[in-house]
A and B are shown apart, each in its own frame.
Chain A
Amino acid sequence: GAVVSQHPSRVICKSGTSVKIECRSLDFQATTMFWYRQFPKQSLMLMATSNEGSKATYEQGVEKDKFLINHASLTLSTLTVTSAHPEDSSFYICSARGGRGNQPQHFGDGTRLSIL
Chain B
Amino acid sequence: SQKIEQNSEALNIQEGKTATLTCNYTNYSPAYLQWYRQDPGRGPVFLLLIRENEKEKRKERLKVTFDTTLKQSLFHITASQPADSATYLCALSGTYKYIFGTGTRLKVLA
Contacts and interface: CB of A to CB of B under 8 A. Distances in A.
Interface residues of A, number: 23
Given A49-B97, A104-B34, A112 B41 contact: yes
Contacts of A43: 89, 100-103
Interface in A1-35: 2, 4, 6, 32, 34
A95 to B, nearest CB: 7
Contacts of A4: 43
B79 interface: no
B46 interface: yes
Contacts of B89: 43-44
A46 B99 CA distance: 8
Given A44-B44, A107-B45, A32 B102 contact: no
A25 B102 CA distance: 26
Contacts of A108: 43
A109 B43 contact: yes
A95 B102 contact: no
A13 B12 CA distance: 38
A49 B97 CA distance: 8
A42 B105 CA distance: 11
Contacts of A93: 43-44
Nearest to A104: B46
9 contacts: A43-B102, A46-B97, A49-B96, A91-B41, A102-B96, A104-B46, A107-B36, A109-B43, A112-B41
Which 3 pairs, one residue from A and one from B, show the smallest C-beta to C-beta distance?
A107-B43, A104-B46, A102-B32
Interface of A: 2, 4, 6, 32, 34, 41-44, 46, 49, 91, 93, 95, 102, 104-110, 112
Given A2-B46, A32-B96, A93-B44, 17 more contacts: A34-B98, A43-B89, A44-B100, A49-B96, A91-B41, A102-B31, A102-B32, A104-B34, A104-B46, A105-B44, A105-B91, A105-B98, A107-B45, A107-B46, A109-B43, A110-B41, A110-B43
